[in-house]
Amino acid sequence: MNLYSVKMRASRAGEHVSGAEKIVEASAAAATAARLVERALNHEKGTPDFVNVKLSAPGEIIRLKALAVTNNVVASAAEGRELAIELLERDGIARAREIMELLPQTHSMRGAMLIDADTLERLDGDGERGVRATCMDDAESSVKGTASGKNHYAEAMVLATKVQNAPGIIGEICVSDDPAYVTGYVASPHLGYQRISAIKEKGDSNGGRIFIYRGRREDVPAAVEFLERQSVIVEDVPVLDSPLPERRFSGIAAELTAIERAGLMRECRVLDKASRSLRRGGVLILSANDYLSLADDPRVIEAGVAALRRDGAGSGGSRLTTGTYPVHRNLEAHLARFNGCEEAIVFATGYMANVGTIQALVGKGDAILSDALNHASIIDGCRLSGAEVVVYRHGDLSDLARKLSLCREYRRRLVVSDAVFSMDGDILDLPRWLEICRRYDAFSMIDEAHSTGVLGTCGRGLAEHFACGHPDVTLGTLSKALGSEGAFVCGSRDLIRYLRNKARSFIFSTAPSPAAMAAADAALSVLESDPSRVDKLRRNAAFFVEELRRRGVVVETATPIVPVPVGDEHRALAASQALWGRGILVPAIRYPTVARGAARLRCAVCAGHDVEELAFAAQAIAEVLQTV
Ligand SMILES: Cc1ncc(COP(=O)(O)O)c(C=O)c1O
Nearest-10 crossing angle of helices 532-550, 514-529:
80
Nearest-10 crossing angle of helices 611-627, 532-550:
30
What is the model's pLDDT at position 281?
A: 63
487-495 average pLDDT score: 98
Candidate of 379, 418, 422 to mutate for ligand 1, largest count of ligand atoms within 8 Å of Cβ: 422
Average pLDDT over the chain, rounded to whole?
90
108-136 average pLDDT score: 82
Q: Are 188 and 172 in contact (CB under 8 A)?
A: yes
The pLDDT > 90 percentage for the chain reads: 70
37-46 average pLDDT score: 85
SS3 label, residue 496? helix
Pick the more confident residue, 70 or 455.
Answer: 455
Q: Are 577 and 595 in contact (CB under 8 A)?
A: no
Residue 613: pLDDT band (50, 70, 90) is very high
Q: Are 284 and 293 in contact (CB under 8 A)?
A: no
Q: What is the spatial distance between Cα 139 and Cα 157, in angstroms, rounded to a whole number?
A: 8
What is the model's pLDDT at position 248?
A: 63
Gap between the terminal Cα atoms of the chain: 65
152, 200, 465, 480: the catalytic one is: 480
Lowest-confidence range among 20-24, 306-310, 567-571? 20-24
Instruction: Give the angle 214-219-222 at the CA atoms, nearest 5°.
Output: 110
Name the strand (E) or helix (H) holding 327: helix 326-339
The residue type at 459:
G
What is the model's pLDDT at position 35?
A: 87
What is the model's pLDDT at position 147?
A: 33
Third-level CATH fold of 263-293+532-627: Aspartate Aminotransferase, domain 1 (3.90.1150)
418 within ligand 1 shell (Cβ under 6 A) = yes
What is the model's pLDDT at position 244?
A: 43
The residue type at 454:
V
480 catalytic per annotation: yes
What is the model's pLDDT at position 142?
A: 40
pLDDT exceeds 80 at position 541? yes
Lowest-confidence range among 195-204, 238-247, 594-603? 238-247
450 catalytic per annotation: yes
Q: Could you tell me which of 491, 500, 494 has the C-alpha nearest to residue 340?
A: 491
50-56 and 3-12: which strand pairing?
A: antiparallel
**How far, in Å, from the CA of 613 to the mean position of ligand 1?**
26
Q: Are 350 and 374 in contact (CB under 8 A)?
A: no
447 within ligand 1 shell (Cβ under 6 A) = yes
Task: Using alpha carbons, list the distances in angstroms from residue 432 to 156, 387, 401, 512.
Answer: 71, 25, 10, 35
What is the model's pLDDT at position 105?
A: 82
Hey, CA dihedral for 219, 221, 227, 232, is it positive or negative? negative
351 within ligand 1 shell (Cβ under 6 A) = yes
Lowest-confidence range among 44-48, 138-142, 334-338? 138-142
SS3 label, residue 264? coil
What is the model's pLDDT at position 274?
A: 61
Q: Are 334 and 484 in contact (CB under 8 A)?
A: no
Which ligand 1 atom lies nearest to the CA of residue 377?
Answer: 4
Q: Hey, where are the domains in the chain?
A: 3-59, 63-259, 263-293+532-627, 315-512
Tally Cβ neighbours within 10 Å of residue 427.
21
What is the model's pLDDT at position 45?
A: 76
520 within ligand 1 shell (Cβ under 6 A) = no
What is the model's pLDDT at position 573?
A: 93
Residue 126: pLDDT band (50, 70, 90) is low
What is the model's pLDDT at position 118?
A: 94
**How far, in Å, from the CA of 169 to the mean position of ligand 1?**
56
328, 403, 450, 470: the catalytic one is: 450
As its CATH architecture, domain 315-512 has: 3-Layer(aba) Sandwich (3.40)
- pLDDT tens track for 429-473: 999 999 999 999 999 999 999 999 999 999 999 999 999 999 999
- pLDDT tens track for 341-379: 999 999 999 999 999 999 999 999 999 999 999 999 999
What is the model's pLDDT at position 224?
A: 92
What is the model's pLDDT at position 117?
A: 96
475-503 average pLDDT score: 98
Q: Could you tell me which of 265, 270, 275 has the C-alpha nearest to residue 583?
A: 275
What is the model's pLDDT at position 140?
A: 47
The pLDDT > 70 percentage for the chain reads: 93
pLDDT exceeds 80 at position 160? yes
Residue 109: pLDDT band (50, 70, 90) is low
What is the model's pLDDT at position 585?
A: 93
Q: What is the spatial distance between Cα 3 and Cα 23, in angstroms, rounded to a whole number?
A: 7
Phi first, then psi: give them for residue 119, nearest 5 degrees: -95, -15
68-78 average pLDDT score: 87
What is the model's pLDDT at position 275?
A: 65
375 within ligand 1 shell (Cβ under 6 A) = yes
What is the model's pLDDT at position 144?
A: 36
Residue 155: pLDDT band (50, 70, 90) is confident
350 within ligand 1 shell (Cβ under 6 A) = yes
- pLDDT tens track for 213-265: 999 999 999 999 999 888 888 888 887 765 544 556 666 776 787 787 788 88
- pLDDT tens track for 129-149: 788 887 676 554 443 333 333
Hey, CA dihedral for 625, 606, 293, 469, is it positive or negative? negative
Pick the more confident residue, 145 or 38.
Answer: 38
231 catalytic per annotation: no
- Burial code (b: 16+ CB inside 10 Å, e: under 16) for 111-120 equals bbbbbbbeee
443-447 and 473-477: which strand pairing?
A: parallel
What is the model's pLDDT at position 148?
A: 37
pLDDT exceeds 90 at position 547? yes
What is the model's pLDDT at position 149?
A: 39
- pLDDT tens track for 387-413: 999 999 999 999 999 999 999 999 999
Which ligand 1 atom lies nearest to the CA of residue 422?
Answer: 16
371 within ligand 1 shell (Cβ under 6 A) = no
- pLDDT tens track for 258-312: 787 788 888 888 887 666 666 556 789 999 999 999 999 999 999 999 999 999 9
What is the model's pLDDT at position 279?
A: 59
Tally Cβ neighbours within 10 Å of residue 58.
20
Give the closest residue (by CA) to ligand 1 atom 6. Answer: 350
In 297-376, where do the E strands start and end? 343-347, 367-371
